[in-house]
Every structure is written in structure tokens, then in C-alpha cells.
Amino acid sequence: MTRPFAIDLFSGAGGAAMGLFRAGFDVLGVDIRMQPNFPIERGMSFVQLDVFKFAETLPNIMRTADLIWASPPCQAHTAMKTMHNAKEHADLIPATRELLRASGVPYIIENVVGAPLLNPIKLCGTMFGLGVDDAELRRHRIFETSFPVTAPKCQHGQRASVLGVYGGHMRNRKRRTIGVYGEGCRDSRRKVDKGVPDFSIEQGRAAMGIDWMTTAELSQSIPPAYSEFLARVALASRHKNLFD
């Protein structure tokens, strides 16, 4: 039997693609930038192309997919948009949604909390037991799906510390947090040697379940566990529809 086929739009270095692959899909990653660390292996491939040009010039590939994943740029919706020197970023979510709906293929749109997704669910690393050593991973992301999904519950507080691969945001300042955001893995607490990362990139990779990315790539990724979970729900929904 052939494996189902998924397309990962705005793929980055392949965090979501790896989860789709582990769920049982062959995956094609598409990104406007070359992604030298995208995991190319049997069943996974990559093409460098603007997502909207890809959909326009290769519509047949879009329609043959069993699932389309899309992670449009999140900068227009992050907390950094309120900074005094923040740059203007285009909101590509509406155009992405229109593209996906026109394909007629089941889809998932991923973005940061606060992005204008429709009836999204939220996933967290604690739902999947992610973390490293005594620190749990809290990396909240939201997902709009064209099929019904019931999200697990967050399991905050199962470990002594909190590891957040999203800039160090957290409520309980007494707990240790890790922010993985471009130049290193840092403890959110102020220290004299502020220029020295408090956590290694290896710890950040272990917490995310990703061992092939740079720190900068890691900071833009989601754990493969998230996309694997949603892809398995998509497969179950597909099989149910086939037998209804």
C-alpha cells in the first residue's frame, strides 16, 4: 500500500514535516527560502518556491495531496509587534486559508497564540510529555483545522522547572524557564554573566524532539509531536469518511 501524501507549506527546516512523516505521510516541504537542514530521506522531499507561486503553477500537486499543512509567518501576530521599533509584517493567514479551501484538501494552519485563526485548538509540550531533565516544555501554538479535533489537556506542573522555547514568557517567575530565540538557550532570570547561555542547544533540541536544526531554526519550529498528533487525527477522520 502507498503512503498518504502531505504538503508542508512554509515548511522552514521541517519540524512539522517530520511529525507528518512519523504519522505515516510522505511529505513535500515548500518554502521560499532554501532550507539546507530540511530532513531529506525516503518519503520526504523539499522544493524552494514561494508558496503562492507553487499553488498557482502546480495546482495538480496540491489537489493530489491527502493533507496540507501551512505555517504562514507569525511575526504579524507575536508580542514583538508592539515594540517601538517593530517592522511591519504582512498577515498571510487570510490568503493562505483561501488557497487551502480552494484546493479542496483537508488542511491545518499553524500559528502563534493571538493569530486570527478560526476556532483553533491549542497544543502545549506538556500534553506530549516534552521537556528535558527536570524541565517541562511549554510551547503554546494554535491550529485551525478543516476537520474536528479535540485537544488533550495541558499537564503543567508535572516537572520541577518550566522550559519555554518561545522567549521565556511564563507566569511563575520562581520557576526556571528557557528561551530559545535565535542566539542561544537562556534562563529568564537575570544574571551577571547575561551574555552566556544558561542552557545548551542540545537541551533545547532534546526538549523539542528535534536534533537536526540550528538554534535559529529551532526558535521558528514546532515540536514534531504536535504535527504527528494532528496528522493522525486527520488520517482517522479520512478513514471514517471513507466508510461512512
Read off the pLDDT of residues 94-104 as tens digits, 9 standing for 90 and up.
999 999 999 99
Task: Tell me, yes or no, whether 145 lies in a domain.
Answer: yes
What's the pLDDT tens digit per position in 21-49?
A: 999 999 999 999 999 999 998 899 999 99
- Domain CATH number, residue 20: 3.40.50.150
Residue 213 included in any domain: no
Q: Write phi, then psi, for 145 (nearest 5 degrees).
A: -125, 150
Give the confidence band of 75 by pLDDT, cuts at 50, 70, 90. Answer: low
Looking at the domain assignment, is residue 196 inside a domain? no
- Identify the pLDDT of residue 76: 58
**pLDDT greater at residue 22 or residue 240:** 22
C-alpha cell at 158: 508535572
Is 113 within the bounds of a domain?
Answer: yes
Tens of pLDDT, residue by residue over 79-130, are 544 444 445 668 899 999 999 999 999 999 999 999 999 999 999 999 999 9
Share of the chain above pLDDT 70, in %: 77
Which helix (DSSP H) or strand (DSSP E) does residue 233 occupy? helix 224-243
* 237 within a domain of the structure (yes/no): yes
pLDDT for position 204: 86
Does any domain span residue 171? no
In SS3 terms, 109-155 reads as: EEEECCCCCCCCEEECHHHHCCEECCEEECCCEEEEECCCCCCCCCC
The number of distinct structural domains making up the chain is: 1
At 184 the pLDDT is 45
* pLDDT of 131 above 50: yes
Q: What is the mean pLDDT of the chain?
A: 83
CB 143 within 8 A of CB 149: yes
For 68, the domain range is: 5-124+139-151+222-243
Q: Which residue has the higher pLDDT, 242 or 168?
A: 242
In this prediction, residue 241 has a pLDDT band, given cuts at 50, 70 and 90, of low
d(CA 227, CA 110): 9
Residue-wise pLDDT for 134-170, tens only, equals 888 888 999 999 999 999 999 998 887 777 664 433 3
- Cα 11 to Cα 39: distance, rounded to the nearest angstrom: 11
Other C-beta atoms closer than 10 Å to the C-beta of 61 total 16
Between CA 22 and CA 228 the distance in angstroms is 6
DSSP state of 4: P
**What distance in Å separates the CA atoms of residue 119 and residue 71, rounded to the nearest whole number?**
16
Residue identified by cell 499537564 is 155
Q: Output the nine-digit C-alpha cell for 169.
A: 514568557
- 197 in Cβ contact with 177 (< 8 Å): no
Residues of the chain with pLDDT > 90: what percent? 62
224 versus 74: the higher-pLDDT residue is 224
**Spatial separation of the C-alpha atoms in residues 106 and 152, rounded to whole Å:** 21
Give the pLDDT of residue 219. 87
